Structure 1
Amino acid sequence: MEKQTNEGNQLFTDTIKSLIPISKQSLLRDIDVVFNTRMAYDSKFFDGEHTLSNFNVNQLRFEVKGKIHDKVYFRFRNRYTREPIPGNLDNISRSVDLAFVRIDLSPRTNFSFGKLCADWGGWEFDFNPIDILAYNDIIEYADNFLVGAGISHTLSDEKNSFSFQILNSRTKTYEEQYGSTAPPNLNPSEYPLAAVVNWRGNFFDGKFETTYSYSFFNEAKGAHMNYFALGNKFKAKNLLLYYDFQYSDEGLDRKGIISGIISNQYQYAAQNTLYVENWIRAEYLVNPKINLLLTVMTSNASWKDNPDPNGSSKLSTSYGLIPTIQYMPFKDFNMKFYLGYVARKYNYTGYAETTFGAKDYTTGLLSFGIIAPLLVL
């Protein structure tokens, strides 16, 4: 009986080995399979009152990436915490973050094609999403993963790199994006495209880094979006400090925040809106196992095209405060236990309150869980 069991195990092992031909097994050395994961027990609050406590899989993004040729790299990442609804403009599920091929044209220059991460400046969006408990408003309401093509080049000093992308301006068609709220004086563009330019710099032996970008979106005929994102990173011995400034001037309200405020009096999406944000994140490594974090953010929303001659252009300001402590028990494995609190406050101007009935409110989220990019291959 023992001999038969051993023979069975050997047959099983040989069968598994044969699934991947020996000639192709070398490819696996350059392939990573990752489950980007954040799981937590969350308690939610509204205006200081507890509303719900439950377990959540906040983030689960399956990722496969690596080289399939000396000069060809691919990356695919799918999000299992978003509905897999195909965009009717780009024909790919919105749950797919990334699906692209990169070709190295030279040691310093590469070309990418497919569904890309828009190369916004700013460090907030540069983080792995599992490390961000809550985004500021611009990133939260933007289409950040878009189909298109891009080219990037690193200068010979290896301290400065530049990228340029041409992308679809959104995942949906104009009609699906705005529906009945599309302003009657605007028509969809025949070229719903966006151009993104990014510069990344590295100075003072890595103590100061930048990621700055400018983006132009052709949202509709005569309605465009100009978006600036300026990210700064300061590094000391045990301290990391990030500061982002973001400015989004939108001919047609893409974020939808202003449109939501005025919706009880204006049936169409707002035109000529402006969003200005500040985002600061500080990280202090107390010791190799304990990391302290604090994120502070603000977002101002204005309606520059307010038709009320006596009205105010600024309608709201949101604030965010996120203190977090992380515990990293393993020296050789990137897994973090964390405890964090996301406090958000939404303030409306007196004009927005009296004219549109807006009311201030606060939200809170107490989260305890695990953050880990689980590299399984």
Structure 2
Amino acid sequence: MKGFTVLLLCFVSAKLCAQQDKQSDTSVNHPVPLITATKADLLNNVDVIVNTQVALNNYFKDGKYSSSQFAVNQFRLEIKGKIFKDKVYFRFRDRYTKDPETQSVDHISSSTDLAFVGYNLSDRTSITVGKMCAAWGGYEFDMNPIDIYEYNDIVENADNFLTGVQFTWMASPDHTLSAQILNSRTKTYTELYENVPEMEEAKFPAAYVASWNGSFLEGKFQTLWSFSVFQEANKNDKPVNMYYTAIGNQFRSKNWLLQYDFKWSSEELDRTGVVSSLIPENVLGHAAQHVDYKEHWLRIVYSANQQWKLSAIGMVSNARWKDITDQTASSKTLRTSWGVIPSVEFYPIENYNLKFFATYVGRYLKYNSYSKTTLGQTNNNPSRFMIGIISPLLIL
């Protein structure tokens, strides 16, 4: 809790100094305030937010109860704001529910989601530099992580936060375009893929991301679309790439919210890692090649009133390995993952984003004949029932 500790020490030190001045020097009739009006105005443009999700998690395996525990599922400290006449902006967010391991590529902790500074070149154009979200598109990834009870496979296993530069252009009030050049990963090639025959690490492993945010029908229909190319390595002097497309669509009415994402990731080298995780070392001792993932994600939210919301998420993900040579394999899709997440949310305070929730997260993992006979996989149903509280607590 480094950020919170520093903030606390600042307030404690300020109070102690004020007490000491009052007790030791009574000759000053008009002491200089610790925080001047100028500094106070600056603090008005800075937010300190603690994003939290705390719950009682009840776990089930293949329909049988296994265990329960209280847990802080999400705790992310965020500081963001604008300075210098709203020209310069910054954002920092650190996750305290993840091990803070310094990454070998960008030299920043894996627990740090965001650490960037930006500059508004004009009213429509800006540039951002630092560690940021890859602008992948899709509403599943766009949601605050504390509002997510379970991610689908691609987002769950992706390197979501990467270091680089972003250019953003607001073409009109309803359409925004952005382009990013980022490190393609936070770890080294060998750490992720081990030694793949005939391949060598790219000299500049980079990700190129283009995204479009659109708004139609006075905001009732919106889009979050993106296309990305990640260069990971070279083989026979040719680039080895990953191609990722995310198409997010949203429709909102008075009481209903509908969101649908389609995601497709074609990976010459298994960047997502689900396929590689299914293959034992005696079958393949390094990352798999020629894989792809296709996903559908649908979220429906019904607002009964200002306090009660009912929602349901349905999602499916296919993990496919094109290099299967067994002719008896039923298909090249090693695993199909289904998910259902019905939820009830209660907001006790009007116009305040704090909610109590109860949700069931059901996953159904089904494997093809090759996965079962050669890779030793079996169908299973991991699930959990959660009761808890969620809120982005605005401290400052």
Pick one of 318, 322, 325 that aligns with 2:337.
318
One-letter amino acid of the counterpart of residue 229, structure 1: A
How far apart in 2 are the matches of 1:108 and 1:176?
40
Question: How far 1:267 sits from its partner (Å)?
Answer: 1.4
How far apart in 1 are the matches of 2:165 and 2:389?
35
Pick one of 328, 351, 368 that aligns with 1:349.
368
One-letter amino acid of the counterpart of residue 118, structure 1: A
How far apart in 2 are the matches of 1:201 and 1:238?
22
Question: How far 1:254 sits from its partner (Å)?
Answer: 1.0
Residue 174 of structure 1 pairs with residue 189 of structure 2? yes
How far apart in 1 are the matches of 2:378 and 2:21?
67
How far apart in 2 are the matches of 1:39 and 1:20?
35
Q: What is residue 130 of structure 2 aligned with on the other side?
A: 114
Greater shift after overlay, 26-35 or 256-265? Answer: 256-265
Pick one of 247, 260, 275 that aligns with 1:243.
260
Question: How far 1:163 sits from its partner (Å)?
Answer: 0.3
1:190–1:237: structure 2 CA closer, same or farther, 3 Å change rule? Answer: same
How far apart in 1 are the matches of 2:127 and 2:252?
30
One-letter amino acid of the counterpart of residue 204, structure 1: L
Q: What is residue 98 of structure 2 aligned with on the other side?
A: 82
The TM-score normalised by the length of structure 1 is: 0.94
Q: What is residue 228 of structure 1 aligned with on the other side?
A: 245
Q: What is residue 93 of structure 1 aligned with on the other side?
A: 109
One-letter amino acid of the counterpart of residue 160, structure 2: N
Question: How far 1:22 sits from its partner (Å)?
Answer: 4.0
Question: How far 1:308 sits from its partner (Å)?
Answer: 3.4
How far apart in 2 are the matches of 1:121 and 1:9?
48
| 1:312-359 C-alpha deviation (Å, 9 max, x unpaired) | 321110000000000001003210000001000000012221221110
How far apart in 2 are the matches of 1:159 and 1:108?
12
Q: What is residue 356 of structure 2 aligned with on the other side?
A: 337
Q: What is residue 284 of structure 2 aligned with on the other side?
A: 266
How far apart in 2 are the matches of 1:372 and 1:288?
16
Give the 3-state SS of the residue equivalent to 2:185 in structure 1: coil
Give the 3-state SS of the residue equivalent to 2:277 in structure 1: helix
Pick one of 48, 56, 60 that aligns with 2:63.
48
Give the 3-state SS of the residue equivalent to 1:187 in structure 2: strand
How far apart in 1 are the matches of 2:310 and 2:133?
28
1:18–1:166: structure 2 CA closer, same or farther, 3 Å change rule? Answer: same
Question: How far 1:265 sits from its partner (Å)?
Answer: 1.5
Residue 58 of structure 1 pairs with residue 73 of structure 2? yes
Question: How far 1:162 sits from its partner (Å)?
Answer: 0.4
How far apart in 2 are the matches of 1:131 and 1:9?
39
Q: What is residue 31 of structure 1 aligned with on the other side?
A: 46
One-letter amino acid of the counterpart of residue 72, structure 1: V
The TM-score normalised by the length of structure 2 is: 0.89
Question: How far 1:50 sits from its partner (Å)?
Answer: 1.4
One-letter amino acid of the counterpart of residue 24, structure 1: K
1:335–1:17: structure 2 CA closer, same or farther, 3 Å change rule? Answer: farther
One-letter amino acid of the counterpart of residue 152, structure 1: T
Question: How far 1:257 sits from its partner (Å)?
Answer: 1.1
One-letter amino acid of the counterpart of residue 219, structure 1: E
One-letter amino acid of the counterpart of residue 102, structure 2: P
One-letter amino acid of the counterpart of residue 257, structure 1: V
How far apart in 2 are the matches of 1:94 and 1:338?
29
Which stretches in structure 1 are left out of the alignment for 5+ residues?
A: 1-7
Question: How far 1:293 sits from its partner (Å)?
Answer: 0.7
Which stretches in structure 2 are left out of the alignment for 5+ residues?
A: 1-14, 23-30
Q: What is residue 376 of structure 1 aligned with on the other side?
A: 395
RMSD, aligned α-carbons: 1.9
One-letter amino acid of the counterpart of residue 104, structure 2: N
Identity over aligned residues, as a percent?
Answer: 47
1:162–1:10: structure 2 CA closer, same or farther, 3 Å change rule? Answer: closer
How far apart in 2 are the matches of 1:60 and 1:103?
28
Residue 105 of structure 1 pairs with residue 106 of structure 2? no
Q: What is residue 26 of structure 2 aligned with on the other side?
A: none
Residue 214 of structure 1 pairs with residue 200 of structure 2? no
Pick one of 197, 201, 206 that aligns with 1:184.
197
Q: What is residue 155 of structure 2 aligned with on the other side?
A: 139
1:73–1:359: structure 2 CA closer, same or farther, 3 Å change rule? Answer: same
One-letter amino acid of the counterpart of residue 304, structure 1: K
Question: How far 1:277 sits from its partner (Å)?
Answer: 0.2
Q: What is residue 5 of structure 1 aligned with on the other side?
A: none
How far apart in 2 are the matches of 1:230 and 1:248?
12
One-letter amino acid of the counterpart of residue 391, structure 2: A
